[in-house]
Structure 1
């Protein structure tokens, strides 16, 4: 009795593992297999559940020779396939070029934003320095320290306020 139950369980296990398996290529061109379907914008192929046609032993049906539309479509099919594959390749190349151009533009914008943020931080620091007062000095061409007068301080404060207005939002 125990052996019959074990054989029955072993016969049922493969029926329970009847999951759909999907095959697709990700953005890097790597072929992926999963039981979870990929995102809807990716072309997929179902592996399990495919209906495989069995040979019948009979010759396939041939189109009627007198049918003009059939013969025209048969002659145009290879041309359309070539055109569609060429247009798909062109579209893929254009998308790749657009993506590269967008990436370069984004990198340039990021670099400009970083420079602007650094300039803003420096301008605010200078404004705080000129606003708080005290003795401010700088080194002249001879390497000597010289202290700024009232006119230099007010000019520095005005220049740093102008920089804050230009670089900070």
Structure 2
């Protein structure tokens, strides 16, 4: 009878599959670092605080917030009001289309000609940042009587 060591050597044992373990620690570390990176690189500053009031154009005392009408205000002359239509692509004023990079020049021209009121009509899907850009630019030029209207076509 052969020795047990010789018999074990002649019987092929099944090869043991080597299992590679997967550690979630490295992935968690990477995700944490990405989270920190995006938090630090994101623009965390909120939109500038803009003073917004409800009311009709030229009627700063249109109501007291409790549904009671205030004393009638003077009606604004339509010739002293510019109407701008804000779209996702840019701005339309006096039938001409402009990019948002031209808002400063338009506001300066309004101030130079004495236009004190601007009605901004918003078309659907206009980004909030576009509205903020227009309002801040008008405010910087001294035009503080700005009305925003919904321009949704129904």
- The answer to whether the superposition gives a TM-score over 0.5 is no
Decide which structure has the larger Cα Rg and report it.
Answer: 1
Considering fraction of residues, name the structure with more helix. Answer: 1
Higher relative contact order (CA 8 A, sep 6+): 2
